[in-house]
Structure formats: C-alpha cells, structure tokens
C-alpha cells in the first residue's frame, strides 16, 4: 500500500471514530453550556434555599462519600473557572499591570 493510501485510510478511520463522539459532545454541550434562562431562576432560588437549609439543620453530615466527592469537584471546577476568568481579564497570571 502506498503512503497516500495509508494517509487516506487513517483519515477515514479517524473521521469514523470521531463522528459519534463529536455528536455526543454537541448533544451535551447544547444543554450544559448554555447560560441560564429567566425561566430557570425559580429553580435556582429553590436549590440555593435547599443548600442553606441543609447547612442550618446539619443534614450535610449525612451525605454519602460519593455525593461529597462530586460536590467538592463541582466546587473546585467553579473556583478554577473563576481564576481562569480573572487571568483572562487582567491578561497576566500574577498581579495587575498598573501604569503609573
């Protein structure tokens, strides 16, 4: 088999493998990566009040290790996105570029 046929075969294999994965990514991206709508605000308010109520009553002590791990990872992800946005906003990794 010549080098050109190997390249075409590799590209076709890559496309056939990547297509279902890309379709799955697009399916979830349409749902997960959209900003909240005004119709979502009551649900968000209810979830925040549930979190506050859980903290007040001490019910947080009864969650499973799996749930605690997932909650911790979500909190870390939100924090990292915040720090990434800060770095993008100030255009530096450390400190601000202040011109005197």
pLDDT tens figures, 49-96 = 998 998 899 888 888 999 999 989 999 999 999 989 888 888 777 777
Q: Assess if residue 8 is contained within a domain.
A: yes
97: CB partners within 8 A, 6+ apart = 90, 91
In a domain? residue 1: yes
The number of domains in the chain is 1
Neighbouring CB atoms inside 10 A of 60's CB total 13
Report how far apart, in Å, the C-alpha atoms of 11 and of each of 2, 6, 19, 23, 24 are: 14, 9, 12, 18, 20
Task: Indicate whether 29 belongs to any domain.
Answer: yes
pLDDT at 14: 84
Mean pLDDT of the chain: 86
Q: Can you tell me the distance from the alpha carbon of 88 to that of 91, in angstroms, rounded to the nearest whole number?
A: 5
What is the rounded CA–CA span in Å between residue 41 and residue 47? 10
Which structural domain range is residue 7 located in? 1-34
């Amino acid at each position: 088999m010549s080098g050109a046929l190997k390249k075409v075969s590799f590209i076709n294999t890559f496309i056939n493998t990547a297509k279902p994965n890309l379709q799955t990514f697009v399916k979830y991206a349409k749902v997960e990566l959209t900003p909240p709508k005004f119709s979502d605000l009551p649900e968000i308010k209810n979830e925040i009040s549930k979190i506050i109520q859980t903290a007040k009553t001490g019910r947080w002590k009864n969650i499973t290790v799996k749930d605690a791990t997932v909650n911790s990872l979500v909190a870390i992800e939100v924090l990292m996105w915040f720090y990434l946005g800060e770095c993008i906003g100030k255009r530096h990794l450390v400190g601000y570029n202040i011109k005197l």
